[in-house]
Amino acid sequence: MDEPTSRENASMSRAHLNKDPDEVAAMFDGVAKRYDIVNDLLSLGRTKAWRRAVTKIIAPAPGMRILDLAAGPGSSSQPLHEAGADVLSTDFSEGMLAQGRKSRPYLSFSKADALNLPFEANTFDVTTISFGLRNTVDFPKALAQALRVTKPGGRMVVVEFSHPTWRPFRRLYMGYLMRALPVIARKTSSNPDAYVYLAESIRAWPNQVDLAAAMEAAGWTHVSWKNLTFGVVAVHIGIKG
C-alpha cells in the first residue's frame, strides 16, 4: 500500500486557534464527508431548526442573488436555492466543495477565500456565512470583504455558535463541548481532534455584543442579532449603508 501523502496526513490532523488557513482547510477536507454529522453533534441536534430560522431571516426569493461563504457541502445553501434565489456556494476547502458537488449537484459551487473574495463590488443582495466566520484567520477582514461585494442596502447574515445567555445553561453547554464532545468524537470520527479544535474555537469566539461591534467597525450598519436555543447560536444581521 502506498504511503499517505503529506496532504492526507494533514487532513487527519486538527487546526489550532491561530487558524492557519492551510491547517483549517486540511482539517475540513478531512471531515467533509461527515460535516453534517459534526454540526449535529455541536448543535445538540438543533441544526435543522436553526436552518429554518435562518432561512426565514434571509427571506430568499426568486431574483435575489445570495453569496454563501464557507458553505461546506451546501446544507446552508439548499433552502435558499429551493426558495428560488440565485445562490453561489463558496468554500476554500477542496474536500468540502467535492462533497457538495457530489451530494448536491444542483447547487453552484465555487472556490473562494473569505479574506480575498474574487467578486466585483456591489454584486450580491445578501452575503451570508454559517458556522465559518470563526474559522477565518482574520474575521474582521472577512466582514470587510463581505461588505465590499454586497450591494448598497443589502444585508449580511452571520450564523455562528455564540455564548448562551442563561448562565447555568452556558456552564452546562461549555462543559459538554470541552468534555463530552471529544469523547463522542473518538467513538464516531476518524479525526476526533478536529472536534476538539471546533469546541475550543466556539469557547474562544466573541459574544453577541462583541461580534456586533466588530461588524459595525467593518462598516455594517443597523447591526442586530437573534439568539437561537438560548444563545448557543446567534444570527447577526447587518445592512450596507
The one-letter amino acid at 163: H
Give the pLDDT of the chain (241 residues) as one tens digit per residue: 322 322 233 333 455 666 777 776 676 666 656 666 666 766 667 888 999 999 999 999 999 999 999 999 999 999 999 999 999 999 998 998 999 999 999 999 999 999 999 999 999 999 999 999 999 999 999 999 999 999 999 999 999 999 999 999 988 888 887 788 778 777 766 677 777 787 888 889 999 999 999 999 999 999 999 999 999 999 999 999 9
CATH 3.40.50.150 fits 6-240, yes or no: yes
The pLDDT value recorded for residue 182 is: 76
Domain ranges of the chain: 6-240
The pLDDT value recorded for residue 36 is: 66
Q: Report whether 13 contacts 28 (CB < 8 A).
A: no
Contacts of 48 (CB under 8 A, 6+ apart): none
pTM, 2 dp: 0.85
Q: Report whether 161 contacts 203 (CB < 8 A).
A: no
